[in-house]
Amino acid sequence: MLAVVDTDLGYGQHIVLPKVNVTLHEREHVAILGPSGVGKTTLLHYLYQQLAKQSCLCSQAQGLVDNLSIFHNVFIGGLARQSRWYNMANLLLPFTQPQQQINAICQQLELTIPLQKKVSELSGGQRQRVALARALFQQQPIFMGDEPFSALDPLMGVRLLNVVKQSHQSVICVLHDADLALAHFDRIIVISAGKVTLDAKANQLTLAHLSQHYVVADEVPRSAY
């Protein structure tokens, strides 16, 4: 599906991950793990840029419009699929069909509050589910998520991950929850100390394996003192 070969990833002159080599296969569920600040989001956003036409991105920042309703925030996810006049008409006075579609997605995501409610009035977990609903409404084959379940209780996180898996051919998520990654993903990529330190099938790994590959960015080996 995508091969990233010896590619430097970063921001302008600031290279966060030099010479990255990662291959993504179709129909895989991939978790990207690693300590805070090592470059997981940087990698995910690069993967999204390469596969943008087939992907939806549920980013950490969410990008919700606080003063708009749940309906409008989710509807924005489908703007690219429809004509400008259809989008304008729906934003002014929502048609029945998209209301039903968005309602069904919200039900799947256990978001059972009225679609007319403003996003500014929602809890953190409810906002995260609106962001997930907007991603699902894009109807793309690849889902990319940056900590997309972090504001949910762990059991709901697993249920909603299953909804995401059922709705997409491939799922690529940055996670901090190693247990979720081990139990529910096919493959785990660990980024640590500026590089990919592990890339393996999840069923061959344990928490102990993962922790061996976590190196905090500014950790200096004892021998250096």
Ligand X SMILES: Nc1ncnc2c1ncn2[C@@H]1O[C@H](COP(=O)(O)OP(=O)(O)OP(=O)(O)O)[C@@H](O)[C@H]1O
Summarize as ranges the residues that interact with ligand X (CB under 6 A): 11, 14, 16, 34, 36-42
CB of 215 to ligand X, least distance (A): 13
C-alpha to C-alpha distance for 152 and 125, rounded to whole angstroms: 5
CB of 40 to ligand X, least distance (A): 4
Residue partners of 206: CB distance under 8 A and separation at least 6: 182
Of the candidates 75, 26, 74, the residue with the CA atom closest to the CA atom of residue 51:
26
CB of 173 to ligand X, least distance (A): 12
Are 173 and 32 contacting, i.e. CB atoms less than 8 angstroms apart?
yes
CB of 41 to ligand X, least distance (A): 3
| Residues 44-56: b if buried by 16+ CB within 10 A, e if exposed | bbbbbebbeeebb
Residue 66: strand, helix, or coil: coil
C-alpha to C-alpha distance for 95 and 72, rounded to whole angstroms: 12
C-alpha to C-alpha distance for 55 and 73, rounded to whole angstroms: 18
